Amino acid sequence: MDGLLYHNKAPFNPNQFDYSGYLENQQIYAQIYTLWPKLKIITTENTIWSKFSNFRTKIIDNLKKSNFNETELAVMIALLLGQQQDIDPETLQEYQLAGAVHILSVSGLHVGFIMLFINFLLKPIPNTSRNTYIKLLIIVLALWSYGILAGLAPSVVRSVTMFSFVAVGQHLRRSVNVYHSLLVSVLLILLWKPSFLFDVGFQLSYLALFFILWLQPLIADFWQPKNKITRYIWDILTVSLAAQLGTLPLSIYYFHQFPGLFFVTNVLVLPLLGIIMVVGLVAVIIGCFGTVPKFVIVPLTMMIAIQNKCIGWVASWDALVFKNIGFTAAMLWTSYLVIIALGLWLQKPIYKKVVLAMVSVLLLQIVCLHNKWQSTNTQEMIVYHQKKSTMITERKNNKVILFGNDSIQNTIAKNQILQSYLTANFAKLTQRENLQNLYYFNTKKILLIDSSATVPLNIKPDIVILVNSPKINLERYLSAYTPKQIVADGSNYKSYIRLWKATCHKAKIPFHITNEKGFYKI
């Protein structure tokens, strides 16, 4: 196959998600582009993966033919089959803001329900020596079949592997050390696919499970209510708190936001989720053979609709969703040190553990103070890469001035490039200005030449920024003023950029193109 091979590129703007690094962690190092006639499609119809995929498609088609409401069906398919692509963006965002997006990904919660359901179905079979092994084989095969059917995402693989170990321990009538099961499942999964170590879902799911197993009993001991309903709500709250504490630093590090009402979400959603999983599993089993009857569709649709409304209500409290939280790698590690040290102290409050907890808190404070000092002792000017527009920021300490046209100024809240920069650098936007032709920054004169091609006379700039494809005789300008650097951003025509690049190369003046080299920082 003929084609052009393109290596993964680093982010074009500062503090952006490094998609090239993500692809490399997935063992994808380049992309190839070719013409359609030159593509050769290799059929995979006879593999086990394709058969499960086709079977999943058949189930989804049967569910769609069963007159489910579109929104509720998309949520049910995500809950049970791990396919989120049909969920509309608004519903998905509500789940994210409410701190409940994890229930849309098949994980330990879902696989646990599946295992309980299979155990329930196998309960009438007598527990003889021979039947025990038959039951174990059925459970393990069913779990892995479900895992493959759900697409074998990292969270699914982790959950199925761990519950397989739990099933083995239970049916051999041996006490199962859950920490051992957790560690062995991690080892086996990483031996099979080491790249899962860098998967965010894999990291979050294992952290959540570990902290639930370790911290939840310690937190639950603070209060032991006698009333059954109160005890049930308290158990949900302690499980949620343990999981949230375990994943909080990593979640803020990756996503820079925190849902303040996650307690309310879990109390409202988890009890209903169990019923939805049971009825939904019945619907999926029926969907393997044909359309689902109305007496299953109606209650299932109603329960999912109630769940979506609860999620939407929680997400509507926008003021309690804390966004754009700056968090560095050093803060991440020291935060986990604090959580672990406090957990150890809570487990056994002796003097040494108190000292460890105090030292960890002090270390976190030192890291935070260092970040604050660094943010208030930095000066830089950045020309960003944006297609068909120009954006420049000037930062002095933690105050940022934005220079841009009207389209940039009117979309600041939605501008992820700017918001990512402000969040990562603990800075705030204090001033907005239109683009100017002349800037002075740290003794450097910076000339911006736009489509008007206005060139001030008797000004010898250090840096020239070309925007909006100005019709300028660059060769004549360079011979007259000899600037130290030429910068062209993403608002210029590519044909103009090629000519400017050749001209600068001939004049031996550095030429920075943002759509090749990324942002330019002074």
Q: How far apart are CA 510 and CA 487, in angstroms?
A: 9
Handedness of CA 154, 156, 157, 161 (dihedral sign): positive
- Report the chain's terminal Cα–Cα distance, integer Å: 44
Three-state DSSP class for residue 438: strand
CB atoms within 10 A of CB 125: 12
SS3 488: strand
- Within 10 angstroms of residue 185's Cβ, the number of other Cβ atoms is 22
Which region, left, alpha or beta, applies to residue 397 given φ > 0 means left and ψ of -120 to 50 means alpha?
Answer: left
> DSSP letters along 108-158, please?
HHHHHHHHHHHHHHHTTS---HHHHHHHHHHHHHHHHHHHHHTT--HHHHH
471, amino acid identity: K
For residue 176, the model assigns a pLDDT of 61
Token pair for 505: 């190369």
Q: Give the span between the Cα atoms of 347 and 106, in whole angstroms.
A: 32
Which of 287, 311, 246 has the alpha carbon at shortest distance from 91?
311
104 neighbors 128 (Cβ within 8 angstroms): no
- Distance separating alpha carbons of residues 17 and 293, to the nearest angstrom: 45
Q: What is the rounded CA–CA span in Å between residue 160 and residue 141?
A: 10
400: enclosing H helix or E strand = strand 399-404
The first and second tokens of residue 157, run together, are 């693989």
Pairwise CA distance, residues 267 & 248, whole Å: 19
pLDDT of residue 181: 75
* Rounded Cα gap, residues 483 and 510, in angstroms: 9
Domains delineated in the chain:
4-38 (no CATH), 52-214+259-322 (no CATH), 329-375 (no CATH), 381-522 (3.60.15.10)
The encoded tokens of residue 314 equal: 């929680």
**Burial class for 501, CB neighbours closer than 10 Å (0-12, 13-18, 19+):** middle
Q: Give all strands (DSSP E) within 346-475, no chain letters.
A: 379-383, 391-396, 399-404, 428-433, 438-441, 444-449, 463-466
> What span, in angstroms and rounded, lies between the C-alpha atoms of 229 and 12?
53
Question: Mean pLDDT of residues grouped by 10 in the chain (522 residues)?
Answer: 74 86 81 76 66 80 83 85 81 82 75 81 81 86 83 76 78 68 82 82 83 87 84 82 88 86 78 83 85 87 90 84 87 94 89 92 93 88 90 90 83 85 89 88 89 80 90 87 90 90 90 91 91
Number of other CB atoms surrounding residue 169 within 10 Å = 16
The letter for the amino acid at 307 is Q
Sign of the CA dihedral running 228, 232, 237, 243: positive
Amino acid at 183: L
**Structure token digits, residue 430:** 């204090």
**How many angstroms separate the CA atoms of 213 and 160, rounded?**
17
* Whole-angstrom distance, CA of residue 69 vs CA of residue 86: 12
Among 164, 166, 215, residue whose Cα is nearest residue 189: 164
Put residue 443 in one of left, alpha, beta given phi > 0 → left and psi -120 to 50 → alpha. left
Q: Alpha-carbon distance 362 to 359, whole Å?
A: 5
Segment holding 290, helix H or strand E: none
DSSP state of 320: G
Give, in degrees to the nearest 5, the angle at Cα 465 between 460 and 469: 120
Task: Find all residues with CB under 8 Å of 379, minimum gap 6, and list them.
Answer: 395, 396, 397, 441, 442
Find out whether 513 and 519 touch, Cβ atoms under 8 Å: no
d(CA 480, CA 455): 12
Cβ(236)–Cβ(270) under 8 Å? yes
Q: How many CA atoms lie within 13 A of 4 on its CB side?
A: 4
Residues linked to residue 422 through DSSP beta bridges, in sequence order: none
